[in-house]
Structure 1
């Protein structure tokens, strides 16, 4: 948000500066405090829920719209990319329109875009609605956090952040469960329709309580060229990643053009932002070692985490035969340890070296990925849930310490900007991770399928035995070969998923190097206003 350095307003994620230029608002009390906290939390819950609820519904969405599951994942990546692009604009929009007005407007636009998602007749319309939904969702999380902090007295800010943080951790648990249940028992549009009553209620309550607590409005210039370049290079890169497999990558002129546009746009963006007086993204932050190394670590790790979060339910439903509800149950335990441990980590982090906590998170992520790399088609639900449960502990030790490392040593006036830029990079890498993971999965599956098919020949006694066994069960030779082909396809997909999990595990261990390239102060310099930036 706006700060004492107005040139950096565009990159800020929340309305910190307006509050700094005026007397702090009087804390709320009684029923207003309770209702205000619930309204802000519901808006955050709705936003975070929508980023995960579609994961287990991809097979249902893609099947209903008549597209392949890998095309269905665009429903996830389109939301993430649009959300990432809009986050750096939050500071400028807050200063221009006011925090309360912007927050309520974002909620109402989110409700409208959710309805558009539900009524979408085809994939193209659904993706357009998801882009709108992601774009208008950008300001919601940082503004809900800021408004919540202004509702409590300073001595209770930690409790306010804890309440806010719980919302962001419960949503990933509810998302897969709710999305799976809706997909199995209703129709997939209802994963979006449920936002309508929640959003309208949150918007009404927020406006009723906070409209008299509006932040000051100030007209500041916006970096239009920087914004245009940002949209061009991020959009081109994501289109290239999403369409690459379908168009045979660089054998396609379209993919080559998109790649060139993404690279050239990115280079021009870096040059422009380096000299612009009011940059949309403060590039100079990357001159700091703590910031640059910390952002690399948290962003690449989040990309790996998010990619696995997309692959696992897809694999469970399309290959193993799980229902969407069962896949949601397998994914849900990820938030249990995260909820239990996050308050402890937040309370004790100032007494510890944040690098050791982050290292433990990466080790845990790595071990979880390597555990999953050993899955087979016969894996049972208990074996599936154990790594997911452990992963929740890694999440608790991941966001808070790395955020403190990234912000360590930043002057107070640059913390909002640093938080906004790091969140932009992290969310972008999440979308990249989802696209790359699905592409690698397809490529490795095809490779394993080709290798396994080589073994299907008259000179392989195992194949002959299996063929004879199936024919003895009453199948014709053609039916028996068809069954063997289905088994090979399932096994190839399993081996392809194993490869992704193994690669992810190795990369998590490699990322520990970047953690130790930083030199934060003990416990970092995590500002209360950024503590919940995840």
Structure 2
């Protein structure tokens, strides 16, 4: 996405106010991808659904957002950057209000789909408007501000969501977007309305868009409902799998032959784009999926309130915000592959630390790995973005940024579903193993039950209940540790993808002209 070339940079108060307004819109978008994480158990309880069904609130937003991102380029050329950006903010405000008003899960999910769709243009256009606002020689400063805004979300989202959910009502995690969005839209229009980009009528790849929606929606629903419907024992799951597979195959063939594809798949023929996009997408899927999982475990098995789990995960972004500008200065003088490799090793080390969790784990043992995870986060986005965009001609950069954004966002939704299902399966497996000897015919087991009954002065049924609760908690943490082991292995396993790339010397400069966070 390019900033308008015919307009001079802003200065003084207009530059400051414009930067704040555009950044607020970006912050609002990023915040909504994480603010609901800690509120899922509360939302699920209030709406009378399971936590697994409540997780749809997160995954369906991410999937809808991913589908809409590739449309940003066409919509910008059709309506202009400023009109599209302001309209997206206002529609996001409307969708947020509808989310807060939702009386049941289907209504909430419909509003979240709308919210995800209209949020698609916010990230790339906020970046484009900022780059057009600042002098060219200070574009790195503009991008640093943009990146820091994107990274503050993981800090503010969980803690703010937990506080609002606990002290007020979960609806307010959506209502807070209303005043913020209206302010951002009003100020943006006031400052940027005379800086509109040129527009022209462009054909839209309608068939490609329909195929994209079909296979993404089918795959996401299959992943989210598979566990509840016993996977491939269900005709619905089998049908969804076939539709997703066939839809994806037709989508790939169509996009490869379409003159103006909605997603330019040909970019994957570029080794830098392919290696960088696949690695950043898989890594983000693991990162985001586990980020959703942790609050559920803390609230479900450790007795944490929503606000407590939010504050526990909040330190994630501290090092990320502090170190990102430093990494930005180091990158032009170094090979981004080394920095990205260190990031993946750092992620693996953090996940290995988490494999030591246990049922009465201390608060500090929960906070420390989350705090340290901010270090590889700072070394994660910028170098891989640099690799993805290196060697591409300028006219290909907007399409590359859009496609890498789509892949990363979609993998975040898929990762959340897969990791949630894997945790459930591993928990069930460990529960079965832990209770193999729990039988009335086992004298040792019956003796332990009797001992618990006498020491706690409870009935035999209550003693059985306490035993089962203890086994549930132990199985859950063992399943969680399995997920962390697998995550650490995957981060190490995808490092070779970084090294199939050969970023050019100017790769860092490419990221300063069009990032793809």
Is 2:496 aligned against 1:513? yes
Q: Give the superposition deviation at 1:350.
A: 1.3
Is 2:272 aligned against 1:308? no
Alignment match of 2:142 (pick from 154, 157, 160): 160
Q: CA distance change for structure 1 residues 170 and 309 in 2, over 3 Å: closer, same or farther?
A: same
Quote the residue 2:130 is aligned against: 148
**1:198-277 to 2 correspondences below 5 Å:** 198-277=180-259
**1:328-407 to 2 correspondences below 5 Å:** 328-407=310-389
Q: TM-score w.r.t. structure 1 length? A: 0.95
Is 2:485 aligned against 1:502? yes
Quote the residue 2:88 is aligned against: 106
Quote the residue 2:39 is aligned against: 57
Q: Distance in 2 between matches of 1:36 and 1:53?
A: 25
Q: CA distance change for structure 1 residues 256 and 448 in 2, over 3 Å: closer, same or farther?
A: same
Q: Distance in 1 between matches of 2:378 and 2:466?
A: 44
Q: Distance in 2 between matches of 1:52 and 1:241?
A: 20
- Note if contact 1:146-1:529 (Cα within 8 Å) is conserved in structure 2: no
Q: Which 5+ residue runs of structure 1 have no aligned equivalent?
A: 1-13
For residue 279 of structure 1, give the secondary structure of its aligned residue in structure 2. coil
For residue 527 of structure 1, give the secondary structure of its aligned residue in structure 2. helix
Quote the residue 1:410 is aligned against: 392
Q: Distance in 2 between matches of 1:517 and 1:461?
A: 60
Alignment match of 2:474 (pick from 473, 478, 491): 491
For residue 279 of structure 2, give the secondary structure of its aligned residue in structure 1. helix
Quote the residue 1:5 is aligned against: none
Quote the residue 1:38 is aligned against: 20
Alignment match of 2:70 (pick from 75, 85, 88): 88
Q: TM-score w.r.t. structure 2 length? A: 0.98
What is the aligned length?
A: 516
Q: CA distance change for structure 1 residues 301 and 523 in 2, over 3 Å: closer, same or farther?
A: farther
Structure 1 consecutive aligned stretches of length 4 or more whose deviation exceeds 6 Å: none
Q: Distance in 2 between matches of 1:526 and 1:48?
A: 25
CA deviation vs aligned residue, 1:295-330 (integer Å, no higher than 9, x gap): 111111110101100111100001111111110111
For residue 121 of structure 1, give the secondary structure of its aligned residue in structure 2. coil
For residue 337 of structure 1, give the secondary structure of its aligned residue in structure 2. helix
Q: Give the superposition deviation at 1:526.
A: 4.3
- Note if contact 1:403-1:526 (Cα within 8 Å) is conserved in structure 2: no
**1:125-204 to 2 correspondences below 5 Å:** 125-204=107-186
